Amino acid sequence: MLNIASFLDIAAPYRAIFLDSYGVVKNYQGLIPGAPETIRLLREQGKIIRILTNDASRSPEQQASRFAEQGLPGILPAEIITSGMMAKLFLAQKVKSGRVAYLGTTAAASCILQAELPCVPVGSVDLENCADISAMVFLDDEGFDWNTDINKTVNLLNQNNIPVIVANGDKLYPVTQSDVSIATGGIAKLVESILNRKFIHFGKPDTQMFNYAFEDISREGNFMREEVLMVGDTLHTDILGGNKFGIATALVLSGNTHSKDAANWISSTGIIPDHICHSIVG
Amino acid sequence: MLNIASFLDIAAPYRAIFLDSYGVVKNYQGLIPGAPETIRLLREQGKIIRILTNDASRSPEQQASRFAEQGLPGILPAEIITSGMMAKLFLAQKVKSGRVAYLGTTAAASCILQAELPCVPVGSVDLENCADISAMVFLDDEGFDWNTDINKTVNLLNQNNIPVIVANGDKLYPVTQSDVSIATGGIAKLVESILNRKFIHFGKPDTQMFNYAFEDISREGNFMREEVLMVGDTLHTDILGGNKFGIATALVLSGNTHSKDAANWISSTGIIPDHICHSIVG
Amino acid sequence: MLNIASFLDIAAPYRAIFLDSYGVVKNYQGLIPGAPETIRLLREQGKIIRILTNDASRSPEQQASRFAEQGLPGILPAEIITSGMMAKLFLAQKVKSGRVAYLGTTAAASCILQAELPCVPVGSVDLENCADISAMVFLDDEGFDWNTDINKTVNLLNQNNIPVIVANGDKLYPVTQSDVSIATGGIAKLVESILNRKFIHFGKPDTQMFNYAFEDISREGNFMREEVLMVGDTLHTDILGGNKFGIATALVLSGNTHSKDAANWISSTGIIPDHICHSIVG
Amino acid sequence: MLNIASFLDIAAPYRAIFLDSYGVVKNYQGLIPGAPETIRLLREQGKIIRILTNDASRSPEQQASRFAEQGLPGILPAEIITSGMMAKLFLAQKVKSGRVAYLGTTAAASCILQAELPCVPVGSVDLENCADISAMVFLDDEGFDWNTDINKTVNLLNQNNIPVIVANGDKLYPVTQSDVSIATGGIAKLVESILNRKFIHFGKPDTQMFNYAFEDISREGNFMREEVLMVGDTLHTDILGGNKFGIATALVLSGNTHSKDAANWISSTGIIPDHICHSIVG
């Protein structure tokens, strides 16, 4: 039913390749075997590469180092675009004073929120003395006590009417072949549901990240959207966003979307990739 | 704008009074001052009383004892109807084998789940060896580690296609004058959103609890629905459920619905109480 | 994967059988061939029968006549329980003055709304002079101009803060083997979404109809819930409602749920019937 | 509570002004009195102007002519950016063959869908012979029979798994001071709810339109985002989108958001404009 092709055949006509990270280049076990070879071949063919990731917990530099440690050297921080960078831009442009509260690790906060404003984990906020908290950021699902700090976030946001930013809208991430863990976006959704509010979400499928990446490669040459391929494992982020931005899309079956579910999910969501392949390897 | 009357005037024509517990008879500080006197007066007037509560964490016996300790003696366990009792009935009628997993305290489990089936907290479930888990119950927001055990619940329910019961659908409860805490129903909503499923919810506004209470008082005499008044502080549970069951409803402003919001909330939800009063006292 | 049994084998141990109408006893072409024979056999075995339908557009009398015309004589009006009857009870108990506006045919209005209050189709309401409209009912998807009258309903409900009743919560009904039509519940959902309100829905899966039917058969004898079987073609109305009310449930594959989808839908919704059969015939 | 300023004072520091059309420059009665004078003053101050509208039913040329007829000459088609243009770009980039079905007027189709592909109103689609329909577009709430054609759309989309585009996501538009009409986005929402799918929505609050406008003015000069002001009457489209794109936002109280509701809505949505004024006039 699915028309499955080889990744290199699919990629051949495109001049720029946007790759999701988790589920495409790596997974819970490390790099997808053969991924470095594929990326080397793409580069040899003169293609421009960008990694577009909704992982807002680490900076591009940290993610590049991690790729190198895992056996994929040569990815430059400038080739990595994270949803955290979008959130950081928003804060720089729209939040000019006060303190920024966050849920996440201090490492995530230090790399994402290194704006001029002081940052404070929700756990350290004093609810009796928080009128100067001017924005709230959901950064990561780790680094705090879920029970105490999610409840505290609800009460903080009931008191302070401030912009709330979700730096990674993903609801889930895989931790083993079969198990998943609730991600930042899932926790944000709980708080949205409790408060009956919608927060400001960054990351795919929003076209903003695609636009940022497209502007970025346009500094290296003149590109048409038809010359760009987005490669991802998730229909409602990678494929929907790529489709909406007007570039070609390829679904890989090496991550969130399994072979057995792909036809069914495509049909039930109406999010239709231009191409399908097992993985970026073969 | 609101037509506010005295509670005893409102209650006068009714022969049976259904009272929500939290926000009506008690709050985070203890009994609402004057509540015992009101209940004594209602009884003197020959009215039948029932407490209808979405608190599934304690048995009617425990809740009756707690009323007595707080200064309201004479409430019989048989006068208290909890959403946990509805969940318990469901389990007894529909789940006949296997083990029942739960999120909540062991105290809640012992009183609510005292069916014939063995119960196990999600934290103790071995995901490699759980094929005999035949139902899952959301009981309480306490008694487990939110991070570890909510994630484990997601993975358990991904593996086992079993009925999932939410014994208390409330999303929030107040812990101080201004602060709230996420309740069982909020946690269940997170898991429903992650799994893209709807669980089986018990408690108000479902008419089942009202029907149970009405059948119960009908054993003491012959009642028309028009002779029953539901008194509650929450529009979308107490008032919606009472309206739908066809009994009269009175909104009190001593709990979740504050004076300043009442007109606005009634108008925006379209859930219209027959009567409004400040509290059951005066 | 599905454990499919014969309907008569499934029904054997139960003393009362609740049947959905559309998709179970009849479909868009008329009676399901063999249905009259099955019902005759059930009666011969001494089983009590009730039809529980979310069709609020015709009275029990009209539905009984229609069964007889189509070749199924002997269904008494008293054996048919409609969601419209639940809505009618609500109006009688809770709406005591003013006029009731409705969307639907005049036939539906005349049989469902034959309360003491005058009824008026939304199309005839004068928005400049409608302060006496005291309730609104979504009855049927026919009998009015969708464009004009749905918009008028939105404006009426923006002006008058009144109870809004959905007499049939079904979103869809089949009109041929492959084609569907939007039902009253779908239209109500549109208006709810536009107004950001929730209306009062009657009909399955609400336990109220099950309770009404159970009380009704209890007048003919003493029944335990374990002795009742609900038979339906729709997971989220018939099966969910039956499960929640605590009776046994059988899914038939002759209506909304097709053989090829059943396992997948059961697994993805978590709504699990006790039994599955192709149809009530064989 | 609201800090309301004069529009010209608010606009003073910005070099480019993005204006929503309906509710800001015009309303159901025609131009907002004084709007032409304000726009003349902005131009005299050397500010660049763009109109960003979710009206996908008419082309920029048609909208410019209409402004002129109503008394606001001098708006160039090139200064008008519509959500329909975004939808048109998507179709050009992603849909390369087959026929495009649409709901809306033929005028809307002729100006929005003037791509190479043949277009066909849903009403003229033959469901027995529609395998070549390769995309579906929700264009407008007029030009078709709601009952027949919305149902036909549901059946078409059940048969053909194709991209579905919503060219205007607005759910409502005002037709008089007090009355509203359901817009394309509301109809699309009904069909999404019936099919349990999410379509591809274009228009504000999506940042794509803001980005298109920003790229457009960048061809006329070098702009920082901080130098751009978005002016709109709707929190969840104009203000949310502008905030997310990182430009300044001004809420006017001359359209969807009335003075009496503004503080409440800002607080309950958390969508916070940088500035508030009564209208662009004074």
CB within 8 Å: C245 and B208: yes
DSSP string spanning A122-173?
GGG--TTS-TTEEEEEE--SSSS-HHHHHHHHHHHHHH----EEES----EE
CB within 8 Å: C194 and D181: no
Beta bridge partners of A79: none
Of B178, B181, B194, Cβ closest to residue A186: B194
| A128 close contact with B: CB closer than 8 A | no
The neighbour count for residue D255, using CB atoms within 10 Å, is 24
DSSP assignment, residue B24? T
Q: Which residue type does D249 have?
A: T
Contact B195, B158 (CB under 8 A): yes
Of D94, D245, D270, Cβ closest to residue A163: D270
Confidence tier at D46 by pLDDT (50, 70, 90): very high
% of chain A surpassing 90 pLDDT: 72
Query: To the nearest whole angstrom, how far is the Cα of B213 from the nearest Cα of chain C?
Result: 13
pLDDT at A7: 97
User: What is the chain D residue with the closest CA to C174?
Assistant: D155
Query: To the nearest whole angstrom, how far is the Cα of C6 from the nearest Cα of chain B?
Result: 21
pLDDT at C269: 79
Greater confidence, C49 or B169?
Answer: C49
% of chain D surpassing 70 pLDDT: 98
Q: ipTM, 2 decimals? A: 0.88
pLDDT at B164: 93
**C-alpha–C-alpha distance, residues A93 and A278, integer Å:** 41
A47-61, B69-83, C6-20, D84-98 — which is least confidently predicted?
D84-98
What the block records as the tokens of A211 is: 């636009």
Is the alpha carbon torsion for C23, C27, C32, C36 positive or negative? positive
Whether residue D277 has pLDDT greater than 70: yes
The label of the residue with tokens 């399908």 reads A276
User: In chain A, what residues touch B180 (CB-CB under 8 Å)?
Assistant: 151, 154-155, 158
User: In chain C, what residues touch B95 (CB-CB under 8 Å)?
Assistant: none
| D94 close contact with A: CB closer than 8 A | yes
| D193 close contact with C: CB closer than 8 A | yes
What the block records as the tokens of C182 is: 């939007």
Of B198, B207, B246, Cβ closest to residue C93: B246
Q: Radius of gyration over alpha carbons of chain D, in Å?
A: 19
Q: What's the average model confidence in pLDDT over A97-107? A: 93
Q: What's the average model confidence in pLDDT over D128-148? A: 95
Cα separations in angstroms, B72 against B39, B63, B66, C60: 9, 11, 9, 49
Of B200, B269, B274, Cβ closest to residue C243: B200
Beta bridge partners of C17: C49, C229
A4-26 pLDDT per residue, tens: 999 999 999 999 999 999 999 99
| D182 close contact with C: CB closer than 8 A | yes
User: In chain C, what residues touch B93 (CB-CB under 8 Å)?
Assistant: 225-226, 246-247
Q: What's the average model confidence in pLDDT over D229-248? A: 94
pLDDT at C271: 87
**C-alpha–C-alpha distance, residues B208 and C244, integer Å:** 9
Contact B189, C261 (CB under 8 A): no
pLDDT at A139: 94
| C158 close contact with D: CB closer than 8 A | yes
What the block records as the tokens of B264 is: 């606005």
Q: What's the average model confidence in pLDDT over C257-274? A: 86
DSSP assignment, residue C236? I
**Residue B138: which of B104, B161, B95 has the closest Cα?**
B104
Enumerate domains of chain B plus CATH numbers. 7-54+205-277 (3.40.50.1000), 98-201 (3.40.50.1000)
Neighbours of B, requiring at least 3 CB pairs below 8 Å, are A, C
| D129 close contact with C: CB closer than 8 A | no
Query: Torsion-angle region of residue B30: left (phi > 0), alpha (psi -120 to 50) or beta?
Result: left
**C-alpha–C-alpha distance, residues B53 and B203, integer Å:** 8
The label of the residue with tokens 């002997």 reads C74
**Residue A210: which of A243, A171, A236 has the closest Cα?**
A243
Cα separations in angstroms, A226 against A4, A13, A117, A171, D143: 21, 10, 40, 30, 34
Of B147, B159, B190, Cβ closest to residue A190: B190
Neighbours of D, requiring at least 3 CB pairs below 8 Å, are A, C
C111-151 pLDDT per residue, tens: 766 667 899 999 999 999 999 999 999 999 999 999 999 99
| D158 close contact with A: CB closer than 8 A | no
A221-256 pLDDT per residue, tens: 999 999 999 999 999 999 999 999 989 999 999 998
pLDDT at A1: 59
User: In chain B, what residues touch C272 (CB-CB under 8 Å)?
Assistant: 161-163
**C-alpha–C-alpha distance, residues D138 and D199, integer Å:** 10
∠B208-B209-B213 over CA atoms, to 5°? 115
User: What is the chain A residue with the closest CA to B144?
Assistant: A147
| B96 close contact with C: CB closer than 8 A | no
Q: At what angle do helices B83-94 and B207-218 cross, to 10 degrees?
A: 90
| B145 close contact with A: CB closer than 8 A | yes
Contact C245, C225 (CB under 8 A): yes
CB within 8 Å: A94 and D157: no
Rounded to 5 degrees, what are φ and ψ at D78?
A: -70, -10
Whether residue D1 has pLDDT greater than 70: no
Query: To the nearest whole angstrom, how far is the Cα of B271 from the nearest Cα of chain A?
Result: 17
pLDDT at D266: 87
Confidence tier at A79 by pLDDT (50, 70, 90): very high
Contact C149, C175 (CB under 8 A): no
Of B197, B200, B247, Cβ closest to residue C268: B197
Query: To the nearest whole angstrom, how far is the Cα of C121 from the nearest Cα of chain D?
Result: 17
Residue A188's SS3 state is helix
**C-alpha–C-alpha distance, residues A40 and A50, integer Å:** 13
Of C197, C199, C208, Cβ closest to residue B268: C197
% of chain A surpassing 70 pLDDT: 98
**C-alpha–C-alpha distance, residues B172 and B180, integer Å:** 6
Of D90, D197, D266, Cβ closest to residue A269: D197
CB within 8 Å: C181 and D151: yes
User: In chain D, what residues touch A211 (CB-CB under 8 Å)?
Assistant: 207-208, 211
Of A93, A199, A244, Cβ closest to residue D246: A93
Query: To the nearest whole angstrom, how far is the Cα of D155 from the nearest Cα of chain C?
Result: 6
DSSP assignment, residue D154? H
Q: Is the peptide bond prior to C174 cis by the omega test (within 30 degrees of 0)?
A: no
Whether residue A114 has pLDDT greater than 70: no
Residues of chain B whose pLDDT is less than 70?
Answer: 1, 112-115
A155-202 pLDDT per residue, tens: 999 998 888 999 988 898 888 878 899 999 999 999 999 988 888 899
Whether residue D14 has pLDDT greater than 70: yes
| A199 close contact with D: CB closer than 8 A | yes
Q: Radius of gyration over alpha carbons of chain B, in Å?
A: 19
User: What is the chain C residue with the closest CA to D159?
Assistant: C178
**C-alpha–C-alpha distance, residues D69 and D61, integer Å:** 12
Cα separations in angstroms, C168 against A7, C165, C178, D23: 50, 9, 22, 37
User: What is the chain D residue with the closest CA to A245?
Assistant: D90
Size of interface A-D (CB pairs under 8 A): 81
Confidence tier at D196 by pLDDT (50, 70, 90): confident
Alpha helices in chain C, H assignment, sequence order: 7-11, 35-44, 60-70, 83-94, 106-112, 146-159, 184-195, 207-218, 240-245, 259-269
What the block records as the tokens of C73 is: 């004589």
Q: Which segment, B266-270, C175-179, C255-259, D101-105, is predicted with the most confidence on average? A: D101-105
pLDDT at C164: 93
